[in-house]
Structure 1
Amino acid sequence: MPMRDESLASSDLASCIAMMQGGSKTFFAASRLLPPRIRYQAIALYAFCRVADDCVDHAGAHDEPLEHLNARLDAIYAGAPLDHVEDHALSMVVAQVGLPRHLLQALIEGFAWDAEGRRYERLEDVLDYSARVAGSVGAMMCWIMGPRDAPTLERACELGLAMQLTNIARDVGEDARMGRLYLPRQWMRASGLDPDVWLQQPSFNGALSSVIARLLGEAERLYEKAKPGIAKLPPDCRAAIYSASLIYSEIGHQLKREGLNSVDHRTVVSASRKLKLLLAAWTQAAWIRMSERDPEPEQAIEDMVRECVSGHSATSAASSQAVYFPSRSAAQRVAWVLDLLERREHQKRDRAISAVAG
């Protein structure tokens, strides 16, 4: 099927936006700070990634969904996407920026690891998984924003790793109830826990607390390592990425304040706290300094970045043009996001008051 005319892309993007609003609230808030030329591409990417995750997750450990997703990628990269709105939207992104296909395939491989119930013995194994499901997304976001050099792509991947480790620490109980365990099993045994026994009846205790704290420590190390890479992004993209970094890092800080118990409840950063972090990102992003010397990349992302750089001779994409979002200055974008979050916080309080009154 030939690719539809770009003038029809707004309907595809509207569907992708609706999908994102029902998914990652942090990504949704941070994406509002991105300039229009980047924002719609990021949303299209998010929509396809979410659909791919659902496709593999619901099918279980079978090859059919992987074959289907690879067929969809074949069509997208041939410029003839199948009749799915997220495929059409992603096909536009591929045509415009030459997004490396191996990054999407790495992501799908990570989803397949979820479906097959892979076990993660060491931290290195957890990082290998995180490189696929989150490092690849960091690299794709970096690619969309413009930088194609290895050090910047490495820092973007490492920010993805940090965010994924935060996700794992936050979702220990939720994952366990689905029969999944992403904490390094070696760490659990070193703390006196039998991973398989614990997984049969998940409960929070001091031993598990130490494992979660250790994982959050690794996440913080990676947030700090990735931070100088933000300075290499286009100036009008830095606040959005830094805000996402601050908000995700805050999940870990909040989890610590709550006693590290991510088995019995899921840690959430309040809208008011997100407001403060968005403002902090807006005021501080321009002052982030580049590293005087680029550090060695995490081993888990080396091959992924190397393939990006070696394949950078791909045909240059046509210049992008936002077709759906209204034009706003950077200051207006920040004000819009802050107003949106404030209104949602008021709505949340109103619902809570109504529930008590009822």
Structure 2
Amino acid sequence: MISGQATSQARVVAHATETIRTGSHSFATAARLFAPPVREGAVMLYAWCRHCDDVVDGQALGHGQRHGRREDSAARLAQLRHATRLASAGMAQDDPVFAGLAEVVRRHRIAPVYLEHHLDGFAMDVAGHRYATLDDTLLYCWRVAGVVGVMMSQIMGRSDAATLDRACDLGMAFQLTNIARDVVEDAAIGRIYLPAEWLAEEAIPADARLADPRHRAALARVAQRLVQAAEPYYDSAMGGLAALPMRSAWSIATARSVYRAIGRKVNARGSAAWDTRVRTNQAEKIGLVVTAAVQAVASRVQHTRQRDDRLFQRPA
């Protein structure tokens, strides 16, 4: 007979698995390649990240109208911080999101400061933060994605500084790609992540008017710069594959390939990049999964180049 504790854990994992399946087809594809214990941790961490994003935005799994006053978002963020701190302290909670987070923290010894860094990224959204330079944008990328890469590395069993740096790099690349893909949608609700100095060079207003179709050609040039800025992070992330277990390396290489392909599509579409949401289709994903398998195997014999110290330096 399955114990009540096991049944409860199964419910938590099932909820997290459904969350990633609905919330991100790209990450769901990659997550299937993990060994089962790693997959459990990955989907439970994803479920918490997704939940935080949705609660702050007033959405459900990234869908629906983003809404709410800044004061309401700040109150929701405060509640998230409280529930997250309870989870990181091992306090029992009925919500499967935070029950899953507590289990991830316990199993993989996730430092609470990493969870706080992630929530600090949402605090930047709530405050309506603006980003003057690429370095400012990169700080945001660290908080909402780079630190998630670090936690994922720990879930995969690697906590050495060199591997954590490469994991951070991949998270940074993912977020730079996200920003380029979603720039018009984000601008429509007043969120501008592009460096203001880049926008000024193209005479694009750094506010909701950025989404005006009249600015699309200039905006495409700025987005292309951001996609290009992601490239050294994608390249650096490859240096971390050899340190990972084979199935984890395959999964991570798949996620890297899928997201990099999205960025390249944004680049190729130019001013039409935001006419429809950029994504990879099923056939493309299958091809990228196969390519990633080759990359994972090759990482075992390839020489790993030293990480470029000009890349973002994550907080210790």
Q: What TM-score do the two structures reach when normalised by structure 1?
A: 0.79
Unmatched segments (≥5 aa) in structure 2: 59-67
- Which residue of structure 1 lines up, in the alignment, with residue 308 of structure 2? 295
Whether 2:70 is the aligned partner of 1:61: answer yes
Whether 2:11 is the aligned partner of 1:11: answer yes
The percentage of aligned residue pairs carrying the same residue is 36
Distance 1:89 1:272 in 2: 32
Contact 1:57/1:111 (CA < 8 Å) preserved in 2?
no
How many residues are paired up? Answer: 300
Contact 1:52/1:69 (CA < 8 Å) preserved in 2?
yes
Contact 1:126/1:184 (CA < 8 Å) preserved in 2?
yes
Distance 1:118 1:47 in 2: 25
Matched to 1:43, the amino acid is V
Distance 1:246 1:175 in 2: 24
- Which residue of structure 2 lines up, in the alignment, with residue 112 of structure 1? 123
Whether 2:113 is the aligned partner of 1:102: answer yes
Report 1:233-272 matches (<5 A): 233-272=244-283
Report 1:131-146 matches (<5 A): 131-146=142-157
Distance 1:141 1:15 in 2: 19
Matched to 2:70, the amino acid is A
Report 1:113-132 matches (<5 A): 113-132=124-143
Deviation string, structure 1 residues 278-310 (Cα, Å, up to 9, x no partner): 0111122111235243432734x421xx1xxxx
RMSD between aligned residues? 1.9
- Which residue of structure 1 lines up, in the alignment, with residue 196 of structure 2? 185
Distance 1:52 1:42 in 2: 16
Structure (1 or 2) with the larger CA radius of gyration: 1
Deviation string, structure 1 residues 30-64 (Cα, Å, up to 9, x no partner): 00000001001100111111111122222553342
SS in 2 for 1:258: helix
Contact 1:229/1:290 (CA < 8 Å) preserved in 2?
no
Unmatched segments (≥5 aa) in structure 1: 307-358
Distance 2:34 2:16 in 1: 16
- Cα deviation for residue 100 of structure 1 reads 1.2
Cα pair distance change 1:253/1:197, threshold 3 Å: closer
Distance 1:203 1:286 in 2: 47
Distance 2:14 2:88 in 1: 22
Matched to 2:119, the amino acid is I
Contact 1:20/1:46 (CA < 8 Å) preserved in 2?
yes
- Which residue of structure 2 lines up, in the alignment, with residue 29 of structure 1? 29
SS in 2 for 1:146: coil
Contact 1:209/1:260 (CA < 8 Å) preserved in 2?
yes
- Cα deviation for residue 109 of structure 1 reads 1.1
Distance 1:297 1:5 in 2: 47
Q: What TM-score do the two structures reach when normalised by structure 2?
A: 0.89
Report 1:295-334 matches (<5 A): 295-296=308-309, 298-299=311-312, 301-303=313-315, 306=316
> Which segment drifts farther, 26-35 or 176-185?
176-185
Contact 1:61/1:112 (CA < 8 Å) preserved in 2?
no
Matched to 1:46, the amino acid is Y
Contact 1:20/1:47 (CA < 8 Å) preserved in 2?
yes
Cα pair distance change 1:297/1:189, threshold 3 Å: closer
Distance 1:203 1:192 in 2: 11
Distance 1:113 1:195 in 2: 16
- Which residue of structure 2 lines up, in the alignment, with residue 41 of structure 1? 41
